[in-house]
Amino acid sequence: MSATATDADTGTAAPGPPTPGPAPLVSPHPRRRTGLARWSLRRILAVTGAVVAVLLLVAAVIGAVSLSALDERRSALIDRLDPALLAAQRLDAATVDQETGVRGYALARTPDFLAPYERGRADEAQALADLRAVAGGDPVVLADLGAVQDALTRWRAVYAEPAVAAITQGGAPPSVELGRAAFDEVRAALDVQREHLQTLRDDARDNLDGAATMLAVVGLVTLLGLALGIAALLLWLRRVVVAPTHRLAAEVRQVADGELEHEVAPAGPREITQLGEDVEAMRRLIVRELSDTERARQELDARSLDLARSNSDLEQFAYVASHDLQEPLRKVASFCQLLQRRYAGQLDERADQYIEFATDGAKRMQVLINDLLAFSRVGRQGEPMRPVDLGELVDAATENVGRALEESGGTVERGELPQVLGEPALLTTVFQNLLGNSLKFRGEEPPRVRIDAQRDPEDDGRWLLRFRDNGIGIDAEYADRIFVIFQRLHAKDAYPGTGIGLAMCRKIVERHDGSMWLEPTDGPGTTFVVALPVLSPETASPVEATP
């Protein structure tokens, strides 16, 4: 199928001055940073962490020293002085056993009474060894221990051993008063030792209590100091990090609320300062862009006024063409026809030819004016967009060209066609023009037209309707020319028409946010493709039958 080539309106608005492109985002000249602005957040966090670590280390050292002192005093009390007192008590008991054994042996003169004496000497040796072990080199304890040993040695030398030897040999023991006086020295040495050990133990207990109290105080002071130090660090971080961030956020929010003339003054650490400088540079760019946009809008408004005046002039022209031009043109055509009927054969052959030329020109001028008016009305008048069934519209267009279809013996076949959003009358006009071209530009065989639809494989959001025929075809080099208004590929005596049909079809399709083109074919015939947007589920609704 070959079509009478027409295209959409080729008129274009006069090009305006080029719109200035966006200026590059350039930060303002960085000011010389002083004070805190020279510090980065990493450095601030590092200093904060170091201070916290020092505080923790000091607290740990103080705690360790206090615990060490407490442990030392506890060890002196429990591991040394308490065992020393127990050993002193055993030593006291051992001396008493010895004195009791000697005195009993002297009275009863029975060897069994010497058992406490012997056991007391063994306990004495063990007690003395324990005292030396726990003394830890304490000169007071060692001196007391030496005094006790000396007193015991004198008691045994003066009384105990001579008494035992004399009684064993059957003689008279030394005087009891002598033994009592010697043993009183032993008791006195033991009392001194016991008092010294008790004093040392009381001092150790007081030291332990003092160390425990000191540990509690040091711990409390350390925790308080640590808490105050951390609080001070948090306040410092709030002042140097959080406060500048909140201040920058408030200024940015102020700009975002519409105060574009408000200058952002960054302060704080280096990163926050750099961020503020970038925001200020962005604000300046936005102000500059808004100024350019406002200037462009004013120019657009001025051009819109010019375009509105131009459209008004075009509408006035259409009115003149439809009324003022039609009337004299009808008169010319009518009188030319009257001349042709009345003087046909009465004038020479050339006069008849001239009259026929004038009549044909008037008729074609009427057709051109009517087609041009129809083309200019596309998109300016019509029904509102609604979901329509393309199959019903194709059937209606087929009925409209039914007479030409019957005369040519042609057939029209269609597959399943979708629903789209559109104006039924305009889309029916498109389909009727395409079918009419297929019937007009037919070959020797009866015309056959096939209409199918499928989703665009490259763009799933639109339908592709293909109108295929077996007509005379169109060369690929004329694929764009056929959509230009008043462009024809054939002489007017070969195929009638004004060359405006395909231009009107493309204009209607573009009004429906679609597109239209000629698809190359390998064999004879022509294939036109009409692309229309897919009907969204929100817009889809039951479609009424097309009248």
Q: Which two tokens stand for residue 74?
A: 């506890």
Residue 358 and residue 465 share a domain: no
- 35 assigned to some structural domain: no
Report the alpha-carbon distance of residue 352 to residue 288 in Å, rounded. 73
Same domain, 390 and 507: yes
Quick one: what percent of the chain has pLDDT higher than 70? Answer: 77
Q: What is the CATH number of the domain that holds 480?
A: 3.30.565.10
Q: Are 303 and 330 in a shared domain?
A: no
DSSP 101: H
Give the residue-averaged pLDDT of 177-202. Answer: 83
Residue 438 contacts residue 449 (beta carbons within 8 Å): yes
Residues 369, 386, single domain; the answer is no
| Residue whose token pair is 């001579």 | 162
In a domain, 21, yes or no: no
Residue 8 to residue 18: CA distance in whole angstroms: 26
In a domain, 395, yes or no: yes
Strand partners, 414: 451
Per-residue pLDDT band for 486 (boundaries 50, 70, 90) equals low
Is residue 254 assigned to a domain?
no
* Pair 252, 264: CB distance under 8 Å: yes
- Are residues 236 and 108 part of one domain? yes
What are the residue ranges of helices labelled H in 24-114? 41-75, 82-108
Q: Comparing 133-147, 239-253, 281-295, 348-362, which segment has the lowest mean pLDDT?
A: 348-362
Domain identity same for 275 and 172: no
| Band of pLDDT at residue 542, cut at 50, 70 and 90 | very low
Q: Quick one: pLDDT band at residue 326, thresholds 50, 70, 90?
A: low
Range of the domain at 285: 261-308
Burial of 42 (0-12, 13-18, 19+ CB in 10 A): exposed
**Does the residue 537 lie in any domain?**
yes
Q: Clarify whether residues 373 and 386 are in a common domain.
A: no
53: left (phi over 0), alpha (psi -120 to 50) or beta: alpha
Residue 58, judged by CB atoms within 10 A of its CB (0-12, 13-18, 19+), counts as: middle
Look at phi and psi of residue 35 and say left if phi exceeds 0, alpha if psi is from -120 to 50, else beta: left
**If you average pLDDT over every residue of the chain, what do you get?**
75
**Residue 1 clears pLDDT 50, i.e. is over it:** no
Same domain? 225 vs 303: no
pLDDT in tens, 34-61: 555 667 767 777 877 788 788 788 878 8
Q: How confident is the model at residue 129 (pLDDT cuts 50, 70, 90)?
A: confident
**What is the rounded distance in angstroms from the CA atom of residue 97 to the CA atom of residue 112?**
13
| Tens-place pLDDT, residues 276-289 | 788 888 888 888 88
Which of 190-199, 352-361, 423-432, 501-510 comes out lowest in average pLDDT? 352-361
* Among candidate residues 235, 221, 231, 234, the one with its CA nearest the CA of residue 59: 221
- Return the closest-CA partner of residue 37 out of 247, 265, 243, 273: 273
Give the pLDDT of residue 254.
Answer: 79
Inform me whether the pLDDT recorded for 464 exceeds 80: yes
Contact 92, 73 (CB under 8 A): no
Domain presence at residue 295: yes
95/153 Cα distance (integer angstroms): 11
Pairing state between β 411-414 and 386-389: unpaired
Same domain, yes or no: 86 and 225: yes
193: pLDDT strictly greater than 70: yes
296 and 194, same domain (yes or no): no
- With beta carbons less than 8 A apart as the criterion, state whether 19 and 296 touch: yes
Strand locations in 205-284, DSSP E?
none
Select the more confidently predicted residue: 66 or 422. Answer: 422
Token pair recorded at residue 440:
């007009």
Same-domain pairing of 50 and 71? yes
CA-wise closest residue to 530 among 417, 442, 411: 417
Strand partners, 469: 449
Question: Which residues contact residue 425 at a Cβ distance below 8 angstroms, ignoring those fewer than 6 apart?
Answer: 382, 383
Q: Please report, in angstroms and rounded to a whole number, the separation of the first and last CA atoms in the chain.
A: 29
Q: Please count the residues of the chain.
A: 547
Final residue belonging to a domain, choices 242, 276, 297: 242
With vertex at residue 22, the alpha carbon angle to CA 18 and CA 24, rounded to the nearest 5 degrees, is 135
Domain count, the chain: 4
pLDDT of residue 367: 63
Q: Residue 30 — pLDDT band, cuts 50, 70, 90?
A: very low
More confident residue, 487 or 365: 365
For residue 22, is it within any domain?
A: no
Amino acid 163: pLDDT: 80
From residue 400, alpha-carbon distances to 389, 393, 418, 441, 512 in Å are 17, 11, 21, 17, 22
Confidence of residue 22 (pLDDT cuts 50, 70, 90): very low
Residue 392 sits in the same domain as residue 358: no
What confidence category does residue 15 fall into, taking pLDDT thresholds of 50, 70 and 90?
very low
Please, are residues 435 and 397 in contact by the beta-carbon 8 Å criterion? yes
Q: Is 544 helix (H, G, I), strand (E, B) or coil?
A: coil
Q: What share of the chain in percent tops pLDDT 90?
A: 0
194 part of a folded domain: yes
Which of 334, 356, 377 delimits the end of a domain? 377
Q: Rounded to whole angstroms, how far apart are CA atoms 374 and 371?
A: 5
